[in-house]
Structure 1
Amino acid sequence: MFLKLVQSITSIKVYTLLLNVDYIPLLKNLKLSEAVEFGLHMVISIGLAFVLNFYIIRKDFHKKAIRHFVIRVSLIVGLLLFPTTLLSERTPPITSAYAFLFWMAGHWIYGWVLGRVLSFKEGERV
């Protein structure tokens, strides 16, 4: 929602970048609605959360380590995906510092929220 809000206020297409599938061969030629693109994004996001949770359980991280780890992974994902803006004319230019900063802020927020969720243990304060 953060990136959608940023895009609606600034017209910097960071939410479009978030949902963009122009670089995926099987999907790039389809005209997908925002709801379908968002659904695809959620499937990937939930899948990532399960993978991270599995890894965290295996490594037996403590709460603070979980939060830091998830934020780092989220920021790395943001760094790796930002260059996909080169593969679409609908997304912001790769040279847009504001787009990059908003994009990374959105990934930090996601990492912070997911880190708090994954660090929750029943009967403990979050």
Structure 2
Amino acid sequence: MKRTLWAAGYGLIGGLILTFLFKWIESATGEKVYTFLLNVDYIPVVGDIAFQEWIEVLFHLVVSVSVALGFYLMYRLRPSWEKRAITICTVGSVIIGISLFPTTALSDRTPEITDGLSLLYWLLGHAIFGAVLGTLFRFET
């Protein structure tokens, strides 16, 4: 149980880093990666509600913790992956980022699906999120 709580904490740390990174990128460049990170427009019923920013950040952090717990479960099932934690978490997070990027087409507030610079920032941010998770997992072992 203690390790599960640590894994959840790692997801919280990684999620906060990603939140602040994307907020900074959006304010510095105008690329709407922070807006996209918090976007729930495409989710039925939920997308019709105008949430305050802090609630949208909480939604993102719940997803970040869930991803971290998913990676932790993978390690529990395959202990040999511990030595490749950084690589596995980074690649896995980039794959998640790639799979989420097409949802940008479902909202008028987010970058265009053809916006290559936003895609680059999006994937780099997710790679950093994964590297942070993997690094924290490595410190635990």
| Shorter-chain TM-score above 0.5 | yes
Figure out how many residues of one structure are paired with residues of the other and give that number: 122
Which of 23, 43, 57 is matched with 2:62 structurally? 43
Two-structure CA RMSD over aligned residues (Å):
1.2
Any gaps of 5 or more consecutive residues in structure 1? none
Q: 1:80 matched to which residue of 2?
A: 99
Shift of 1:62: 4.8
Q: 1:69 matched to which residue of 2?
A: 88
Shift of 1:26: 2.3
Match of 1:51, as an amino acid? G
- Percent sequence identity over aligned pairs: 39
- TM-score, reference length from structure 1: 0.92
CA distance in 1, matches of 2:83, 2:131: 11
Shift of 1:63: 4.2
Match of 2:116, as an amino acid? A
Structure 2 matches for 1:1-126, cutoff 5 A?
Answer: 1-121=20-140
CA distance in 2, matches of 1:37, 1:48: 17
Match of 1:56, as an amino acid? Y
Tell me the secondary structure at the aligned position of residue 17 of structure 1: helix
Say which structure is richer in helix: 2
Any gaps of 5 or more consecutive residues in structure 2? 1-19
